[in-house]
Structure 1
């Protein structure tokens, strides 16, 4: 039977300011420590290395209250408050909350360092790092590292492209490597190594992508009509284009841009968002509301999977069973075979009320071996075992609406 737990705060709320704040004690109480954090391998001063991923869910309610649920021991901490936000994103450690007038940065104090053949896991005190100022909806682009490199923030209203120093964030500071002005448009700045990719508009719409060096000096440019959606996979950084995707990789410390076109025979709409399990090569996006695009960045190929119902979100698992998850317009989570497109299993309608409400936007998150889905109108967060016939393994009730959801610690 599904497990139901009460997601209620047990620590005092902190006040949000533009300064670094120390988070609540007691995070990750259920994770045994392996050893003190040492230099390198994703460690930072004050962090403790632990023996397993310190997984947690961060929720932000409509008033801006930030809570973190430890998925191992089910304890909950209130981390602080941010301005009321319309969307959130994460790199697995930091949560970026977009208010339309800036992006608040929350350090969950949990992260995984990926060394390809093995991993290191860390716990530190959570903190509210402050706000990156900007105007209009923001697009945040991250890498696979929470302690090195950069993080990109692009503000559509002002056309400002900001590159943040991720290593400084790991020390509790918001430091801008540079801030560039472009024509206002729905664009992005995507970090890769010591470089970044920034969209260039034509007629107010992103039309190309330019490589920037660590000082913001432009280099090579590639066409990318109607650039929408970005994600970093184990292979490289991806930007969606009207005719396919642009894949950026590092070859001998230089950025190499490759075009991955959609199949010529396809008339399906392009994917405007791409999502998948962190650190894997395959990502997914909706192709209209009746199909899913799968992009394998390792094979440089697209696959189109028709679905038997209207869907609103899709995400790739990229496991041996080739699971692909989608959120149906009726509120069900469906599990699809990524090789054949066959329906493997489905849940009951879990978030139908939220999908019928313009102000509520459920988010489906893929992990291994679970997926997570928030019901803002239902005041619940679901944990779904997609490999076990889409079984609801746990249901967490929330004291306020979990309007925004992010997973941390992975």
Structure 2
């Protein structure tokens, strides 16, 4: 395990150069996705003919279960400390326990090879803990067998880059761990590099590029006031800033940073978190009471979709019909036309009790054919056919509260 005691501020002092111009990238190169001659295969895994989709839930006591969406079987994967939130790269589940994160291998993943896909299944496993203090922000790529995973602990101010290839072998290996001051920072992997925020006045204010050993890359730094929220799309890695988004792409093996500003004159609040279907260029985020921001990383554009009611989550399907899904504050799932903003359909209030009581974290996840929503207070996971008038296609009752939900195998 590699630990670098030097502070990030000291290390970046030798390389801090403000971004003077904007880079550009060719369309849809796998900018944030490392390549592999093995097409995502690892020892002991079976290659399948279709994606082995599942949802992983964590209950209030830390019990982790995985629901197979093909045969509807349920497996208990293990126990962990009580989690405050969970995220995934489509294979690994990163559960935030406040004093570090628990890493869970679902044993299911899809390898995106741009023009085709490979699907794998292996034995699931509880891989262990990554120590740290305070809320953890996790950033991943679309590869579950190569590259890196970024973790930033707000309480201890530690920026950590994990070796994803080691995770695929059941090992937790830190490429670097850099000490900063406590604040809400971000570490975002891209190729063989990582974007790491720098603080100013207790908030993330700029972004620099480090290599996998934690060494700064001279001349690749950009201002990003109040940096919050990150996602990896088909085009590159995104970090939200107060004035728009910072898009990082790989061009001839080097990282280029490009600004995507909000439209001039907008009064809608900036995005603080992004969500969308894996492998697509468009993602969504909340715009306060103004509705939903859509960020198209391929076209480098923002679109504001007004919504006629308060919403608490939004995600972009980015399919041919340009569906955008939203979870309203009253527990309904809304299906919106991303091109026109028209409300196409909506469900009944599926998770009204969960939202009203604060029981767990209802999470809306979008896949190509379906969406999934957990109701902790309702003790249920819903499968929603959003293209068919938001029809509830399946309902999975749970024996305990599904406090957190992620989808794996995608």
Residues 144-176 of structure 1 deviation map (CA, whole Å, 9 limit, x = unaligned): 100000000100001100000000000000000
Tell me the residue number matched to 1:209: 207
Q: Are the counterparts in 2 of residues 289 and 312 from structure 1 also a CA contact under 8 Å?
A: no
**TM-score relative to the length of structure 2:** 0.90
Separation in 2 of the partners of 1:358 and 1:170?
35
Alignment of 1:210-225 (within 5 A): 210-219=208-217, 220-225=220-225
Tell me the residue number matched to 2:165: 167
Tell me the residue number matched to 1:357: 357
Q: Are the counterparts in 1 of residues 268 and 290 from structure 2 also a CA contact under 8 Å?
A: no
Tell me the residue number matched to 1:110: 108
TM-superposed deviation, 1:188: 0.8
Q: Are the counterparts in 1 of residues 360 and 402 from structure 2 also a CA contact under 8 Å?
A: no
Residues 212-243 of structure 1 deviation map (CA, whole Å, 9 limit, x = unaligned): 01211112210000001000000000000010
Residues 12-54 of structure 1 deviation map (CA, whole Å, 9 limit, x = unaligned): xxxxxxxxxxxxxxxxxxxxxxxxxx97010000000000000
Separation in 1 of the partners of 2:140 and 2:99?
20
Query: Unpaired runs of 5+ in structure 2?
Result: 1-35
SS in 2 for 1:143: coil
Q: Are the counterparts in 2 of residues 225 and 243 from structure 1 also a CA contact under 8 Å?
A: yes
Aligned residues: 373
TM-superposed deviation, 1:347: 0.2
TM-superposed deviation, 1:75: 0.4
Tell me the residue number matched to 1:382: 382
Tell me the residue number matched to 2:329: 329
Separation in 1 of the partners of 2:388 and 2:359?
32
Tell me the residue number matched to 1:200: 198
Separation in 2 of the partners of 1:136 and 1:203?
19
Tell me the residue number matched to 1:319: 319
Hey, which bits of structure 1, 4+ residues long, moved more than 3 A?
none
Separation in 2 of the partners of 1:295 and 1:338?
11
Q: Are the counterparts in 2 of residues 290 and 311 from structure 1 also a CA contact under 8 Å?
A: no
TM-superposed deviation, 1:317: 0.4
Separation in 1 of the partners of 2:279 and 2:149?
16
Separation in 2 of the partners of 1:386 and 1:244?
29
Tell me the residue number matched to 2:125: 127
Tell me the residue number matched to 1:83: 81
- 343 and 246 in structure 1: CA distance in 2 versus 1, 3 angstrom threshold: same
Which of residues 131, 152, 155 in structure 2 aligns to 1:154? 152
Residues 52-111 of structure 1 deviation map (CA, whole Å, 9 limit, x = unaligned): 000000000010000000000000000000110010000000000000000000000000
Q: Are the counterparts in 2 of residues 67 and 76 from structure 1 also a CA contact under 8 Å?
A: yes
SS in 1 for 2:357: coil
Tell me the residue number matched to 2:409: 409
Alignment of 1:188-267 (within 5 A): 188-219=186-217, 220-267=220-267
Tell me the residue number matched to 1:43: 41
Q: Are the counterparts in 2 of residues 142 and 190 from structure 1 also a CA contact under 8 Å?
A: yes
Separation in 2 of the partners of 1:241 and 1:39?
36
TM-superposed deviation, 1:358: 2.6
Matched, 1:176 2:174: yes
TM-superposed deviation, 1:360: 2.3
Which of residues 62, 77, 80 in structure 2 aligns to 1:64? 62
Separation in 2 of the partners of 1:111 and 1:288?
34
**TM-score relative to the length of structure 1:** 0.90
